[in-house]
Structures are given as structure tokens and as C-alpha cells.
Amino acid sequence: MNFWRLTAKRIGYGLLLLVAVLVLNFILMSLAPGDIADTIAGEMGGANETMLAEIRASYGLDQPFHIQLWRYLSKVAVLDLGFSYFYNTPVITLILEKLPATLLLVFSAQILAITIGIILGVIAAKKPNGFFSLVVTLLSLFGFAAPVFWTGILLIILFVSIFPIFPIGGLMDVTLDGSWWQHVLDVLYHLTLPMITLASIFIALYSRLARASMLEVLGADYIRTARAKGVPERSVLYRHALRNAMTPVVTVAGLQFSAVISGAVVVETVFSWPGLGSLALHAIVARDTPTIMGILFFSSLVVVVFNILTDVIVRLLDPRIKSG
């Protein structure tokens, strides 16, 4: 009962945080320089003051700030994110079209980073002063220090220009005429370089964290007791130590989800990946405020949801954490 009550409490806090983020985003966008009506008029080829006033009235821009804010929050509550000035399409439609590509990139990069990071960290923790541990440390420092766009450009130069193995960008080959399975393989083929690029910095983070966590757990009393009883080393590592060592990694992975989404914006731009990042870039250039606000809302929603899921998963992994 305590577990579910605490989960409901976390969800309540998450909703309050989401509302606060929405209000802050609305205030910042309102304070941004420039007039949205001028941008819309520019797309129309120009307008006089009368037409500008009509544009402001049609979009509710002539209302007081608090009325605009209340209308915006009321619409977001029913998932009405407005109408795109630039694309002339409902924002929710644009986001739902681009969201699957972004989620595919983000989830695949996170799964790859967590998996490889934990494996490298565990292997390095077996012999903390060995050669492999030193190699993991150096690769981690390099991966963490390298900007994600620079890594993406290097991969393009290496695997597209010098060794033409992968495509330069896009989600799929639109000219491909094959079975469902061939289309899946084609998407994975296009996903490889963006996924590796986005995962590179987080592999470095998770491997170092997994190594430090494993070293701490391997020095615990219950591990020494298990070894003294003659438990095989493989069981000590993967049955007793790994589960407790995973808790910090899972916690950080959940908290880093916002950073993954931010990195996805850059990666999508480098590889022309048709996701929310590319949509956000075009919306910012066009000053398409409803689209920008909608993307910020969905990004905040995903981060809040995964923070709550992280808290739940950590409590399931480590029963020692009190539910009170």
C-alpha cells in the first residue's frame, strides 16, 4: 500500500512540475523579442496595420497576458496544442508524426548506452588496476568530452565518405520496394550511426558509474561472506553484486533522459533524422511559437514520466529503499 501511495504522490508532484514548466515556457516565449504577427504576415507576403491587428485578434494575441496563459493551459489540458503558423497544420498532428522517429532514436541510444556501459563497467571492476580498466577509463573520458555533433561528423566522414557503409541520413529509403521485414532492416540500417553518436557520451558516463558502483559493492561484507562460503565468482558478480550495482546506473539513466532528448536534437540535425529535433529547428527559424511550445510540452512530459518510472524501477530493484 505504501508503494502505490508513494507512486501516486510522485505522479501528483510530476503534474505540478509539468504545469510549472508550461507556465515558465509560456512566459519565456512571451518575453522573446519580435512579433509573431509580423512573422505570419511575412509568410503571406506582407500586411498593413489593419491586417496585423486582425491576425493578432484571430490568434488571441491582443488579449491580456493572464487570459492568454489561461487559454493556453486550458487547451493543453485537453491536448489542444494550437495551430502551426508555418506548417498550417495542428501542432498535435505534427508532433505525432515526428514523435515515433525521436522515440526510436532516444530509446535505442539509451538501451545501447546502458547495456554497453554496464558490461564495460563490470569487466573493468573485475581488475580495477588492470589494462582493460585503464582502456575503459580513457575511452570514457574521450567519449564524455567529445561533443556529440563532432562525433556524428567524424562517423559520417569515416563510414559514409571514406568507407561508404551507411547512408548519410534520413529514416528510410523511400524507393525501397520490399517486405515488412526489409523495411525494418532498412530503418535499423539508417538508425545505426545516429544511435551510436547519441549513445557515445552516455556509454562513457554509465561505464564509469557502473565500474565505481561495482567496486563499492564488491567491497561489501555480504560479498566477502559469499566468497568465504565458496560461492563461485561468476555468481558473486552477476547474482549478488550486479543487481545492487545497477541501482545508481538506472537512477542516473532516468535523470539523464532530458539530456538524451537534448542530444537527440543535435543528432537529428547532423543526420537529417526526421524527428522532433528537426521539427524544432525549423519551428525556431520560422518563429512558429505554437509548434515550439508543443515540442517543449511533449519533451517535458516525457522527462517527467521517465523520472517517475525511474523512481519506481529503483524501488523494485532495491527493496532496502523504504517506501515511507
Spans of all domains in the chain? 2-77, 97-317
Question: pTM of this prediction?
Answer: 0.79
What is the reported pLDDT for 85?
A: 76
Contact status, residue 172 vs residue 188, Cβ threshold 8 Å: no
What is the reported pLDDT for 108?
A: 92
Tens digit of each residue's pLDDT (9 = 90 or more) over 85-143: 778 888 899 988 888 898 899 889 989 988 888 888 888 887 777 777 788 778 777 77
The CA-based angle 60-61-67, given to 5 degrees, is: 65
Contact status, residue 268 vs residue 153, Cβ threshold 8 Å: no
In the predicted model, what is the mean pLDDT of residues 195-203?
88
Q: Is the pLDDT of residue 16 over 80?
A: yes
The superfamily in CATH containing domain 97-317 is MetI-like (1.10.3720.10)
Following CA atoms 7, 10, 16, 18 in sequence, which dihedral angle do they give, to the nearest 10 degrees? -90
- List of residues 6+ apart from 319 with CB closer than 8 A: none
Three-state secondary structure call for residue 83: strand
- List of residues 6+ apart from 290 with CB closer than 8 A: 81, 82, 83, 84, 85, 91
What is the reported pLDDT for 323?
A: 47
Beta-carbon neighbour count of residue 75 at 10 Å?
Answer: 13
